[in-house]
Chain A
């Protein structure tokens, strides 16, 4: 396998609705941004592309991937669509990595989009719920927020996690987004605001849950020679991991914890794992990526994380899966302030602020979640952090981390069915 680098990225402004543009045009905006950011890139250097979008229901257009590829002028070069629910972006990013690592391509464009405004919110929820077993799950619950609410109620039962700790995730991510011009929801909130918002599925309120969006994102990946010809600041993809689990969360086993380096079986004597409180796919993706990148102590060896916070609860559950803390300590981890940015005032008292900033961009909760674009958006924001170019791309540098040499991106689908983890680091 050859080393693979990310050389450029672009994101369309995420908004509730983009009636002014079809998906092709949104992808074109993100592509042009990425393309023009590295002037040495010529169209003939691009060997092919990967299309990332989740739902044929939302697009009401089959083979939308090739329509975006032809709009970009990338025919007759190779293209394929990759799909895996909420993790579609992360899976597509890794498909691009595979194309370059294998030597099939020297330069691969990964583009993603979703147009979720084409139906009303509750119909959109129905479309999304079809990503649950239509024999046994959809006809009973038919609502993803309900599934995640059940999962966090079990987390609360096992570990004593509190709704206030969950609300702190919402405060953090909405506040970070205030400095991210690409974000859909930029709001200064308090814990009370989150708890007093309308209840959607107990205990998740409207402000514990990400929103639907229209948007696109593009990542350009290249092999080492091409990367250093295109930019003096390429970012290396040093680890990739993908985990899976049963679609029906009722089917998940209740066995032993998959131990991360530094964890002991005795840490979890009475814990049945993963049950419905934890995401085994996330743990397994994380450990694969850590092994490949040579990471033994993630909290010390990573500078920041962009993770899939479709729900405040799943951000807390993911701290644990990624071994940023032990299982059961996720609530305390956010309460103590570890995942907050050191330089930003959140209006909260935080004892250990900024150990490892999580979702400095604002995450899905505040940036929005145009599914096929989401995992790529995380890659672009992580890429800019590592390049130290947040000020250039955001127009202000509040979110630029001092230490940003190595970051982790995490993409997650359907109650933890597909999870990808990729490690990005300074390549120059």
Chain B
């Protein structure tokens, strides 16, 4: 520990024997072999260390927020362009066809499987949930689709394109798009 010094002290103190305190934190190797002849250093194996990296984001849903508030209230929301009447099953606040602002509308809670897959592997975050079934849902009156999970089937052979599915909602919202999921209707 450095000695506490008062501001009144005029002369700077230089400690030529200063030394970092040795700690075990972060120490992974206690002895690293080294050759006498520097020319053999190019033959050295690479050193690889473990480097943890974790972050907590403040992820804002921004203008998409009403969709998630809808899910928490068992409502499935899309948006519709008042100008060109195009309806987005995955909402966007501005119409990609004409650029005008869209309005929030409620989507039917029944739809059909447009396409599907069963994932036996996945990103690290979802590995523990495998196998899981993904579907794109088409709704009457909507021009685009919605990506969602399907449960209540056990294998891809149980899923057909065109099959009717209905929406269910988690009672305890996680404010994730998985707050809505589908089961065979």
B173 CB → nearest A CB, Å = 13
A203 CB → nearest B CB, Å = 8
A374 CB → nearest B CB, Å = 21
Residues of chain B with a CB closer than 8 A to A157's CB: 115, 161
Which one, B48, B115, B126, contacts A276 given CB within 8 A? B115
Q: Is B112 an interface residue (CB 8 A)?
A: no
Q: Are B156 and A202 in contact (CB under 8 A)?
A: yes
Q: What's the Cα separation between A242 and B120 when bound, in Å?
A: 34
A68 CB → nearest B CB, Å = 18
Residues of chain B with a CB closer than 8 A to A60's CB: 51, 53
Residues of chain B with a CB closer than 8 A to A276's CB: 114-115, 136, 145
Q: Are B46 and A142 in contact (CB under 8 A)?
A: no
- Would you list which residues of chain A between 100 and 143 have a CB under 8 Å from chain B? 120, 122-123, 125-126, 129, 134-137, 139-143
Q: What's the Cα separation between A20 and B161 when bound, in Å?
A: 48
Known interface pairs A136-B147, A153-B116. Does A146 touch B90 (Cβ–Cβ under 8 Å)?
no
A positions within 8 Å CB-CB of B? 19-21, 60, 120, 122-123, 125-126, 129, 134-137, 139-143, 145-146, 149-151, 153-154, 157, 198-203, 246, 248-254, 276
Give the top 4 A-B pairs by smallest Cβ distance, nearest first: A126-B123, A149-B117, A250-B145, A154-B115
| 10 more A-B residue pairs beyond the given contacts A142-B123, A142-B126, with a C-beta to C-beta distance below 8 A | A122-B121, A125-B121, A139-B177, A153-B161, A157-B115, A200-B119, A202-B118, A202-B120, A249-B136, A252-B144
Residues of chain A with a CB closer than 8 A to B147's CB: 136-137, 140-141, 248, 250
Q: What's the Cα separation between A198 and B146 when bound, in Å?
A: 28
Q: Are A125 and B120 in contact (CB under 8 A)?
A: no
Q: Which residue of A lies closest to B127 (CB)?
A: A122
Q: Is B80 an interface residue (CB 8 A)?
A: no
Q: Is B124 an interface residue (CB 8 A)?
A: yes
Q: Mark B42-80, 1 if CB is under 8 A from A, else 0.
A: 000110100101000001010010000000000000000
12 residue pairs from A and B, CB less than 8 Å apart: A120-B124, A122-B127, A125-B122, A135-B61, A137-B147, A140-B147, A143-B121, A201-B120, A202-B156, A203-B156, A250-B90, A253-B143
- Would you list which residues of chain B between 84 and 130 have a CB under 8 Å from chain A? 88-90, 92, 96, 114-127
Q: Which of A139, A246, A252 has the most CB of B within 10 A?
A: A139
Residues of chain A with a CB closer than 8 A to B118's CB: 201-202
Residues of chain B with a CB closer than 8 A to A129's CB: 123
Residues of chain A with a CB closer than 8 A to B178's CB: 139-140
Residues of chain A with a CB closer than 8 A to B88's CB: 251
Q: Which residue of A lies closest to B47 (CB)?
A: A19
Q: Are A246 and B96 in contact (CB under 8 A)?
A: yes
Q: Are B119 and A143 in contact (CB under 8 A)?
A: yes
Q: What's the Cα separation between A154 and B116 when bound, in Å?
A: 8
Q: Which residue of B lies closest to A119 (CB)?
A: B124
A276 CB → nearest B CB, Å = 6
A110 CB → nearest B CB, Å = 27
Q: What's the Cα separation between A149 and B90 when bound, in Å?
A: 20
Q: Are B117 and A140 in contact (CB under 8 A)?
A: no
Which one, B123, B134, B149, B156, contacts A125 given CB within 8 A? B123
Residues of chain B with a CB closer than 8 A to A122's CB: 121-124, 127
Residues of chain A with a CB closer than 8 A to B122's CB: 122, 125, 141-143, 146
Residues of chain A with a CB closer than 8 A to B83's CB: none
A141 CB → nearest B CB, Å = 5
Q: Are A150 and B161 in contact (CB under 8 A)?
A: no
Q: Which of B64, B125, B143, B156 has the most CB of A within 10 A?
A: B125
A384 CB → nearest B CB, Å = 30
Q: Which residue of B lies closest to A127 (CB)?
A: B123
Q: What's the Cα separation between A150 and B48 when bound, in Å?
A: 38
Q: Which residue of B lies closest to A19 (CB)?
A: B46
B170 CB → nearest A CB, Å = 13
Q: Which of A122, A198, A201 has the most CB of B within 10 A?
A: A201
Q: Which residue of A lies closest to B136 (CB)?
A: A250
Q: Are A199 and B120 in contact (CB under 8 A)?
A: yes
B144 CB → nearest A CB, Å = 5
Q: Are A142 and B117 in contact (CB under 8 A)?
A: no
Q: What's the Cα separation between A134 and B96 when bound, in Å?
A: 19
Q: What's the Cα separation between A126 and B123 when bound, in Å?
A: 4
Q: What's the Cα separation between A165 and B26 when bound, in Å?
A: 53
Q: Which residue of B lies closest to A22 (CB)?
A: B46
A117 CB → nearest B CB, Å = 10
Q: Are A143 and B123 in contact (CB under 8 A)?
A: yes
Q: What's the Cα separation between A252 and B90 when bound, in Å?
A: 11
Residues of chain B with a CB closer than 8 A to A123's CB: 123-124
Residues of chain A with a CB closer than 8 A to B161's CB: 153-154, 157
Residues of chain B with a CB closer than 8 A to A136's CB: 64, 90, 147, 177
B120 CB → nearest A CB, Å = 5
Residues of chain A with a CB closer than 8 A to B134's CB: 140-141, 146, 150
Which one, B51, B96, B117, B119, contacts A153 given CB within 8 A? B117
Q: What's the Cα separation between A252 and B135 when bound, in Å?
A: 15
B98 CB → nearest A CB, Å = 13
Known interface pairs A136-B90, A157-B161. Does A201 touch B117 (Cβ–Cβ under 8 Å)?
yes
Residues of chain A with a CB closer than 8 A to B53's CB: 60
Q: What's the Cα separation between A249 and B115 when bound, in Å?
A: 11
Q: Which residue of B lies closest to A142 (CB)?
A: B123
Q: Is B171 an interface residue (CB 8 A)?
A: no
Q: Are A146 and B117 in contact (CB under 8 A)?
A: yes
A49 CB → nearest B CB, Å = 26
Q: What's the Cα separation between A87 and B155 when bound, in Å?
A: 33
